[in-house]
Amino acid sequence: MDITAMIFSLVKIVAVIAYLYGLLWVLGVKLKKVEIAGKLVDPSLGVNIFGGVIAFGVIQLALTKFNGFSLLNDFDSGLLYQACTMTMVALGLNLIYGFNGQFSLGQWGFYGIGAYTAADITYRWVNGDSRGLVVVGVGVIIGGLVILLIGKFLSNLRRMPVLSSFTLYLIGSILAGVVAVYAGKLAAPLLDPFLGDSLNKGVLAQGLPMQVVFFLAVVFAGIFAAEVSFLFGLPVLSLGSDYFGIATLGFSIVVYTLMVNSDTILPFPEMKGGRGMIGIPKLTTWFWAFLFLVLVIVIMRNIIRSSTGRSILSVREDETAARSMGIDVARTKLMSFVIGSFFAGIGGGVYAHFIGFLSPGAFDFLVGFNPLIIIVFGGLGSMTGTITASFGWIFFLEGMLREILGKISPEAPSWRYVLYPLTLLLLMLVRPQGLLGSVEWGFLKSKIIPLRKSETREGVNNHE
Amino acid sequence: MQSVSKPQKPPVIVSPNSFLAWIGKIFLLVIGLFAVYILAINLFDKPYLFAQNVINGIQLGFVYALIALGYTMVYGIVKLINFAHGDVFMVSAFVSFFAVERFALHQWPQRLFPGFNPSLSTVIGTVTTILLSMVICVLLAITIERVAYKPLREAPRIAALITAIGVSFFLEYFGLLNFVFSARYIPYQRPFEVVTWYIKDGIHLVESGVTPPDGAITISNILIIIIFATILVQIFLQYLVRRTKIGIAMRATSFDKPTARLMGIQVDKVISFTFAIGASFAALGGVLYAIAYPSIRTLMGVYPGLKAFVAAVLGGIGSIPGAFVGALIMGQAEAMTSGYISTPMRDAIAFSILILVLLIKPTGIFGEPEKEKA
């Protein structure tokens, strides 16, 4: 038994968690205003940004190889990226379930949609086909505009059946998709000559343009996932909690089935169906992973702190009371669902470009319970808890246990999947509200005292 | 700056007869007509193939019905999606597999008393195997209920749900270990021979090694056993729930737990009993499923379990006839999709049907309208 390896892995986990808490602290530092040249200047923002850059640099330095040696090896950097994507997905789910109370099992489906969309864009781009980017880009932008327009039109109608509005949105989105496909056909001859092919890359398929394309691909994938979630959530969110859960579970199974048949039923031969999509350019660097992670954290924290966030929370606490306060409950639910799926899509895009290989098995709904378990571990309605739990989960389960059990015998690593349900059971029996409850730290700390979850209300008839 | 509020236009109220209100219904109608069109074309094209698909669907649906009963009863009584139910189903298949393969339990009368009538021996042996699986699964379910669910009865619902997922994962990943069940597909040795008949100008026996002629509908003894067993279980359950004391206690508990407790019903025992009954039916379903589709593996319970749950939701969760009807619909949907659209799409279609039905009638076909939220 290798004690040093174990201690080393433990130290790594502690260091990563400490790093995260440091990051959250430095992002939230508040300083007194100082007088510079007769003007009162608030240095906090500068300090926060500077701290973020330092935090980015520390890991970047640890990842850089000096004389072939780096503090964090490839295995660790893989864990790091994996943890970043898992955090984004779990934060999105926490917004949907922890903060808004909608029991969703479909997060993994949106994650898969994001991953495949982003991967398809860059894969085609690298192989000299610009249609992926153009079609998805034009599609999501026109689709978003169409959805906004139809929403505007529907907003001054009353008693419109949900199914009818859904049909209108669906028709609008399909039209947007058709337009996008034609736009792709028009743009392809203009862009394709600059892309080269997989062997000799063109001007646009390397260097800075490629990074821009990657950024666009991830963002478009996120928006695409968000729009799909909008179309799906509009009719389904009106169902009750458990029914909504089952419907979303059905959604992720449908997505999985479509992935398995992406080359036969869907017209995407490059996704290769169940055999898995290979040859995705590995574009995710620590810069992008860090950037997207911080973006997601900042966006979500600002949403939670805004009046929108408070209405999201109030819907979780009591729908009837929220409605009587003038909150549009259906709209709030839909909004949190869409934003959560957007985060999942972004996470998927980042994941696809670090792993370089997508197979439908990674998006099976059994794996899809992981984000749910993570947010429950960390505490529903606690962003800090979610971040901690995601990083801890990946580094403990995929990192430490795999390394240590792998040394005992080649078969032992599969025991870690036996251990974690047991841990889960134990946690549920001892501390059902999760490790951190709804405690927040540093940057994420709310100015307002957070509302306590009183879930007993949900099941008045069931738990007396 | 004070924002000047513009005089707003009064909102337009969509009347239920206008085109805007109808467009959603038209959309559903188009989907429905499309499905009917596909089915009708195939029905008139090859009626015998259609009938064969219906029969396949019935076989699948009746097995789903057995599993769905456990889901619907447990949900009706403790409002918990018992994710571990599908794994109980899997355990039952493995128990019967080991009983038959290792201990030849399906032939015990003949082994003990040489000269025993072989066919009678097979019948008794098979029934013993099924009973053994049922007993072990009942014990498993009661253990799960006592260890994992009971301490959480007062906790928030999510805690119980997460626990159910945890139990399910534990059973699956424990079973996946190499020295337990492993991840392989294991050929299942049936306790009795499959006899197949084909129907074309009368009923004929299918000889081994001979394919039935074109245009024939084949049925097997397993289909008949499954239908028979499921109907028996339904009748038994109806009797149990309507006529016996424990059935009345179950209904009272699912209706109002505190009052049931005040009336002297031992709620915990009733809940355990519900779990046990559900598990025994799932175990029966597991053995029959393994006999009908003789290839078992550790994750075999996941999809049937999920589909059975969907069937229970489809029929209106908490309702026993609803689970049966929902399961038949699921079975038909799956068989028709495999037959006429594409086999891999059957899961997708099954869940799309669920989403559609929930949109039209959120409480399921037989479900009672939900009570006003307190």
pLDDT digits (tens, 9 = 90+) for B236-249: 999 999 999 999 99
- Quick: pLDDT tens for B189-211: 888 888 888 887 778 787 777 77
- Quick: pLDDT tens for A241-296: 778 888 898 899 899 989 988 888 888 888 888 888 888 888 888 999 999 999 99
B294 inside domain: yes
Counted residue by residue, chain B has a size of: 374
| B78, A462 Cβ separation under 8 angstroms | yes
List the single residue in A167, A456, A463 with the smallest CB-CB distance to B23. Answer: A167
Contact B20 A238 (CB under 8 A): no
pLDDT band with cut points at 50, 70 and 90 for residue A93 = very high
B1 inside domain: no
Contact A421 B173 (CB under 8 A): yes
- Quick: pLDDT tens for A156-168: 887 788 888 889 9
Nearest to B332 by CA among B46, B50, B58, B64: B58
- Say which amino acid occupies B338: S
| B126, B106 Cβ separation under 8 angstroms | yes
* Mean pLDDT computed over B363-368: 77
Contact B258 A464 (CB under 8 A): yes
- pLDDT score for A158: 79
Which stretch of DSSP H or E encloses residue B90? helix B85-101
- Tell whether B22 is within 8 A of chain A (Cβ): yes
Contact A257 B345 (CB under 8 A): yes
- Quick: pLDDT tens for A178-237: 999 999 888 888 887 777 776 777 777 778 888 999 999 999 999 999 999 999 999 888
pLDDT(A460) > 50:
no
Average pLDDT over chain A, rounded to whole?
A: 85
The shortest C-alpha distance from B78 to chain A (Å) reads: 7
Average pLDDT over chain B, rounded to whole?
A: 86
pLDDT(B232) > 60:
yes
* Mean pLDDT computed over B40-60: 90
List the single residue in B23, B81, B373 with the smallest CB-CB distance to A242. Answer: B81
What number of helices (H) and strands (E) belong to chain B? 13, 6
pLDDT band with cut points at 50, 70 and 90 for residue A303 = very high
List the single residue in B9, B155, B257 with the smallest CB-CB distance to A156. Answer: B9
Which stretch of DSSP H or E encloses residue B196? strand B196-199
Q: How far apart are CA A210 and CA A219, in angstroms?
A: 14
Dig out the tokens for A138 from the structure. Answer: 């034009």
Q: How much of chain A exceeds pLDDT 70, in percent?
A: 95
Structural domain total, chain B: 1
pLDDT band with cut points at 50, 70 and 90 for residue B3 = low
- Say which amino acid occupies A253: I
Q: How much of chain B exceeds pLDDT 90, in percent?
A: 36
Contact B166 A428 (CB under 8 A): yes
B369 inside domain: no
List the single best residue of B12, B20, B307 to mutate versus A (max A Cβ within 10 A).
B20
pLDDT(A452) > 60:
no
- Say which amino acid occupies A167: T
pLDDT(B371) > 70:
no
For residue B296, give the 3-state DSSP assignment. Answer: strand
- Tell whether A316 is within 8 A of chain B (Cβ): no
Residue A1: partners with Cβ closer than 8 Å, 6 or more residues away: A407, A408
Which of A:363-392 have CB within 8 Å of B?
Answer: 366, 369, 372-373, 376, 380
Question: Least CA distance to B369: which residue of chain A?
Answer: A240
Contact B170 A418 (CB under 8 A): yes
Bridge-partner residues for B199, per DSSP? Answer: B203, B217
Residue A316: partners with Cβ closer than 8 Å, 6 or more residues away: A99, A100, A101, A381, A451, A453
- Say which amino acid occupies B264: G
pLDDT band with cut points at 50, 70 and 90 for residue A1 = low
List the single residue in B13, B78, B354 with the smallest CB-CB distance to A250. Answer: B354
Q: How far apart are CA A463 and CA B305, in angstroms?
A: 26
Contact B81 A369 (CB under 8 A): no
Structure-derived torsion over alpha carbons of residues B225, B229, B230, B235, reported in degrees to the nearest 10: 140
B370 inside domain: no
- Tell whether B310 is within 8 A of chain A (Cβ): yes
B369: left (phi over 0), alpha (psi -120 to 50) or beta: beta
For residue B220, give the 3-state DSSP assignment. Answer: strand
The shortest C-alpha distance from A71 to chain B (Å) reads: 34
Q: How far apart are CA A458 and CA B194, in angstroms?
A: 50
Question: Least CA distance to B299: which residue of chain A?
Answer: A366
Enumerate the residues of chain A whose CB falls inside 8 A of the CB of residue B9. 156
Structure-derived torsion over alpha carbons of residues A196, A201, A205, A207, reported in degrees to the nearest 10: -150
- Tell whether A152 is within 8 A of chain B (Cβ): no
- pLDDT score for B55: 92
B39 inside domain: no
Residue A280: partners with Cβ closer than 8 Å, 6 or more residues away: A119, A122, A123, A352, A353, A355, A356, A357, A358
- Tell whether B342 is within 8 A of chain A (Cβ): yes
Please give the C-alpha separations between residue A409 and each of A394, A415, B156, in angstroms, as whole numbers. 21, 11, 40
Contact A424 B163 (CB under 8 A): yes
* Mean pLDDT computed over B339-365: 82
pTM: 0.89
CATH topology of domain A73-114+195-451: ABC transporter involved in vitamin B12 uptake, BtuC (1.10.3470)
- pLDDT score for B6: 67
- pLDDT score for A462: 39
Q: Assess: ipTM above 0.90.
A: no
pLDDT(B5) > 70:
no
Q: What CATH number corresponds to the domain at position B264?
A: 1.10.3470
The shortest C-alpha distance from A376 to chain B (Å) reads: 8
Q: How far apart are the first and last CA of chain B?
A: 42
- Tell whether A96 is within 8 A of chain B (Cβ): no
Enumerate the residues of chain B whose CB falls inside 8 A of the CB of residue A411. 177-178
- pLDDT score for A61: 86
pLDDT(B352) > 90:
no
Residue A369: partners with Cβ closer than 8 Å, 6 or more residues away: A105, B165, B169
More reliable by pLDDT, B171 or A39? B171
Domain hosting residue B131, numbered range: 45-360
Q: How far apart are CA A417 and CA A398, in angstroms?
A: 10
Write the burial class of residue B37 (CB in 10 Å: 0-12 exposed, 13-18 middle, 19+ buried). Answer: exposed
Q: How far apart are CA A215 and CA A218, in angstroms?
A: 5
List the single residue in B151, B162, B351 with the smallest CB-CB distance to A253. Answer: B351
Enumerate the residues of chain B whose CB falls inside 8 A of the CB of residue A374. none
pLDDT(A172) > 70:
yes
Q: How far apart are CA B233 and CA B239, in angstroms?
A: 10
pLDDT band with cut points at 50, 70 and 90 for residue B132 = very high
- pLDDT score for A117: 93
Handedness of CA B162, B167, B170, B173 (dihedral sign): negative
- pLDDT score for B141: 94
The shortest C-alpha distance from B139 to chain A (Å) reads: 19
* Mean pLDDT computed over B300-308: 89
- Quick: pLDDT tens for A9-29: 888 888 888 999 988 888 888
B186 inside domain: yes
